[in-house]
Every structure is written in structure tokens, then in C-alpha cells.
């Protein structure tokens, strides 16, 4: 009998911008984004994978400091449109806000069963010592990886400097080192050495395989308010009284602590009474908020602030924007903030 040839693995690379595809502007000397459609010429190693690799370049390509919910939606819609045609997706993205985009995408995709791997680089791909080639090649291999016909990592993740992280657990921790990202509160999903070693026990595999749904509604009436010693009443008051404000990420000290000044709890209580949702996350890179552990967080708990437990600020602000955009009741939003939607928080 004639053998039917196995279907070739196909990967879509979406170049959104960022250093990986940047060149030095001849006039100013600054790094500016360029088109990225000739990727296989720049990285000929990609041809050695027996994959079909297609690219889409965003026009304009963005420095990721210019990314916002509209850009997240554009990425999500591009993947949705091509979802059935490809086995996996690699999103090339600037490192500065990659953790925010990865978190936002993780909430947007419901019933994801293919990898969406974000990567970028600290040095442009055209430079001799670039980290971009290694990051891109590993990301493509991970996006294509299957076991028994199913994707090994059906998650939104970040692949950087030989490590694969759950995207909504990461933060950019270094502006110079090749190891730009960390995921302190959740283990790596894979480590690339001689082989790529996956840790299936940490990868999320959906139990019920529903059809893919992409939710693209966000509400940007939110703010991140970082506590610091000496914060004054005027400043806090004017932030919390911003017209239209609906949600606040309160970045507190240590395990969720803030000054116990009367005026501070009173400002917070008044904001909560006005229907503003306040979510407490720590300023530390790792560890979690335990409200009530100290007197300095008990006040917040009593005022009605929600605990963000071990969520990163990046995961928390995008989750708040996402939940506020879903038209839920405040009690439902508070309930979901405290629960894992896509593995962004430990329950
Ligand atoms: N500013 C750049 C960006 O985030 C930095 C990078 O790509 O690493 O787009």
C-alpha cells in the first residue's frame, strides 16, 4: 500500500518589533525596527529544520514600549486567523514589555492547545554576538515539539537564554544580561542544553478540550501604585480620585505591607466604597502577599483590598484590565483575581 507522507510541521513567526529585528539608524545611531520578512536569510539554520516556516511582519514594527491592548489584540487575532494552519506560533517581541504581552495573551486564549512562544533578544540579530539566533531557533523547535501528536507545551510562554518560562510568571529583570527574564515563583517549563528537557509536571494540559476562544476586551482605567516610604496623602488621594479609575494594583512592601497611617487606610477605604478594585502584589521579585501576617497588611485586608498572592505585577495589571473588560460584576472580578485563570497565581 502507498504510504501517505506525514504532514510537515508548520510554524508561523510573527515579528512585532523589538531589538531582535533592529538596526542602527545611519543618521541618529539609535536602534530602530526594520522589516523582518527575510528571516531565513539572516538565520539560515532555520532551513535545516524540516518545517514549513512562514513569517508575518507587523507594520509598523514596534519597540515594545509602544505596545498596548490594541497591539495585544492584533497579535491574538493574527494567531486566531492562522490557528488551524500552523502547529505552533513564535512571536518576536521586544523584551521591555514582553512579560505584559505574554500575560495578556495567556488570558485572551481559552482552550489553547498549541504553543505560543514569545522571544526576542538583547542584541540585534544582525550583530555577531547576538543572542537572537539562539533564542529564535530554540523557540521554533519548542513551538514545533509534539509528543503522540499533541503539542508538548500548549501554553503562552517566553523562551529566552536557554530557558522556557510560563509567560504570565515572568518579569524582565535585567536590561543588559542575556538572561533577561526570571520566573521566581514558578519553575521553568523546559531547559535547553544538549537536549531540550521539558518538565511536563509544570506544563498546563487542559482536561476538557473545548474549541479555541479568543477574548479581546480590555479596560485600561487602571493604575499601578507603588508604595514607598514617605508617600503623601495628596499624591495618593489624587491618584485614587482619578476620574474613571476602576482598578488599582497596589505594589506593597514584602509580604503585602503598607504604612498604617490613618489617612492612608481612609483613602483606600473610600476608594473601595466608590467601587474601585484594589489588588495587592509585592514589590519583591519572589514570594507572595500574605495579608494579615503583619499589622501593616491587616489594615488593607480590613479595608477590602484583594490579595494578589504570588502574582507578578505584569500578570496582575493585565489580568485586572482583562477582567474589567469582560463586563463582570465587581464581586466576580474580585473572585477571579484571587483564582488562577491560566496558572498565573498559586492557589
Ligand atoms: N526597547 C526594546 C523593546 O522592548 C528592547 C528589546 O527589544 O529588548 O522593544
Q: What is the pLDDT of residue 34?
A: 62
On the question of a common fold for 10-214 and 222-337, the answer reads: yes
Please give the CATH topology (third level) of the domain spanning 10-214.
Answer: Rossmann fold (3.40.50)
Backbone angles phi, psi at 233, to 5 degrees: -60, -40
State pLDDT tens for residues 144-176. Answer: 999 999 999 999 999 999 999 999 999 999 999
Q: What is the pLDDT of residue 3?
A: 64
Mean pLDDT, residues 64-72 taken together? 97
Binding site membership of 343 for ligand 1 (Cβ less than 6 Å): no
Mean pLDDT, residues 314-321 taken together? 98
pLDDT bracket for residue 1 (50, 70, 90): low
The conformation of residue 341, written as its DSSP 8-state character, comes to S
Binding site membership of 18 for ligand 1 (Cβ less than 6 Å): yes
State pLDDT tens for residues 8-43. Answer: 999 999 999 998 987 667 788 776 666 666 677 778
Binding site membership of 299 for ligand 1 (Cβ less than 6 Å): no
Binding site membership of 33 for ligand 1 (Cβ less than 6 Å): no
The conformation of residue 4, written as its DSSP 8-state character, comes to P
Contact (Cβ atoms closer than 8 angstroms) between residue 22 and residue 33: yes
pLDDT bracket for residue 283 (50, 70, 90): very high
Mean pLDDT, residues 213-231 taken together? 97
Q: Which CATH class is domain 222-337?
A: alpha beta
- 295: helix, strand or coil: helix
The closest alpha carbon to 162, from 198, 190, 187, belongs to 190
pLDDT bracket for residue 125 (50, 70, 90): confident
- Cell of residue 241, nine digits: 480620585
pLDDT bracket for residue 347 (50, 70, 90): confident
- Could you give the CA distance from residue 336 to residue 334 in angstroms, rounded to a whole number? 6
303 CA to middle of ligand 1, Å?
A: 39
pLDDT bracket for residue 288 (50, 70, 90): very high
Q: What is the pLDDT of residue 28?
A: 84
Give catalytic status of residue 19 as yes or no.
yes
196 CA to middle of ligand 1, Å?
A: 26
DSSP string computed for 113-173: -S-EEEE--SS-TTSTT-SHHHHHHHHHHHHH-EETTEES--SEEEEETTEEEEGGG-EE-
pLDDT at residue 116 is higher than 70: yes
pLDDT at residue 95 is higher than 80: yes
Decide the pairing of beta strands 163-166 and 146-147: unpaired
Q: What is the pLDDT of residue 341?
A: 96
pLDDT at residue 219 is higher than 90: yes
Q: What is the pLDDT of residue 21?
A: 84
pLDDT at residue 340 is higher than 60: yes
The closest alpha carbon to 261, from 290, 299, 292, 291, belongs to 299
315 CA to middle of ligand 1, Å?
A: 19
pLDDT bracket for residue 296 (50, 70, 90): confident
Query: Per-domain residue ranges for the chain?
Result: 10-214, 222-337
2 CA to middle of ligand 1, Å?
A: 50
State which ligand 1 atom lies nearest to the alpha carbon of 121.
Answer: 8
Mean pLDDT, residues 177-204 taken together? 97
Binding site membership of 65 for ligand 1 (Cβ less than 6 Å): yes
Report the number of secondary-structure helices (H) and strands (E) in the chain.
Answer: 9, 20
- Could you give the CA distance from residue 320 to residue 333 in angstroms, rounded to a whole number? 8
Output the average pLDDT for the chain.
Answer: 93
Backbone angles phi, psi at 290, to 5 degrees: -125, 95
Please tell me which residue in 9, 16, 19, 101 is annotated as part of the active site.
Answer: 19
Amino acid at each position: 500500500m502507498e504510504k501517505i507522507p506525514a504532514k510537515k510541521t508548520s510554524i508561523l513567526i510573527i515579528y512585532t518589533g523589538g531589538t531582535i529585528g533592529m538596526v542602527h539608524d545611519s543618521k541618529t545611531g539609535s536602534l530602530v525596527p526594520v522589516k523582518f520578512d527575510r528571516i531565513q536569510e539572516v538565520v539560515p539554520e532555520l532551513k535545516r529544520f524540516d518545517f514549513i516556516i512562514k513569517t508575518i511582519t507587523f507594520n509598523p514594527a514596534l519597540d515594545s514600549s509602544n505596545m498596548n491592548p490594541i497591539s495585544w489584540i492584533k497579535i491574538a487575532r493574527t494567531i486566531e486567523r492562522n490557528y488551524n494552519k500552523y502547529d505552533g506560533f513564535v512571536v518576536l517581541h521586544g523584551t521591555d514589555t514582553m512579560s505584559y504581552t505574554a500575560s495578556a495573551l495567556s488570558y485572551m486564549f481559552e482552550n489553547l492547545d498549541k504553543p505560543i512562544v514569545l522571544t526576542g533578544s538583547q542584541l540585534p540579530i544582525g550583530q555577531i554576538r547576538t543572542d537572537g539566533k539562539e533564542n529564535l531557533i530554540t523557540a521554533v523547535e519548542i513551538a514545533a515539539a509534539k509528543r503522540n501528536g499533541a503539542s508538548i507545551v500548549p501554553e503562552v510562554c517566553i523562551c529566552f537564554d536557554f530557558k522556557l518560562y510560563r509567560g504570565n510568571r515572568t518579569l524582565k529583570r535585567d536590561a543588559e544580561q542575556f538572561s533577561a527574564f526570571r520566573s521566581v515563583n514558578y519553575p521553568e517549563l523546559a531547559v535547553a542544553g544538549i537536549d531540550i528537557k521539558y518538565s511536563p509536571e509544570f506544563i498546563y494540559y487542559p482536561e476538557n478540550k473545548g474549541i479555541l476562544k479568543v477574548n479581546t476586551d480590555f479596560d485600561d482605567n487602571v493604575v499601578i501604585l507603588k508604595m514607598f516610604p514617605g508617600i503623601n496623602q495628596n499624591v495618593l488621594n489624587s491618584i485614587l480620585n482619578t476620574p474613571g479609575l476602576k482598578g488599582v494594583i497596589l505594589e506593597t512592601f514584602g509580604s503585602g505591607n503598607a504604612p498604617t497611617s490613618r489617612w492612608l487606610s481612609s483613602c483606600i477605604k473610600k476608594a473601595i466604597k466608590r467601587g474601585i478594585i484594589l489588588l495587592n502584589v509585592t514589590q519583591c521579585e519572589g514570594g507572595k502577599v500574605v495579608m494579615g501576617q503583619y499589622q501593616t497588611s491587616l489594615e488593607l485586608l480590613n479595608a477590602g483590598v484583594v490579595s494578589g498572592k504570588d502574582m507578578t505585577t505584569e500578570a496582575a495589571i493585565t489580568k485586572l484590565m482583562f477582567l474589567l473588560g469582560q463586563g463582570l460584576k465587581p464581586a466576580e472580578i474580585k473572585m477571579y483575581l484571587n483564582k488562577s485563570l491560566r496558572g498565573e497565581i498559586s492557589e
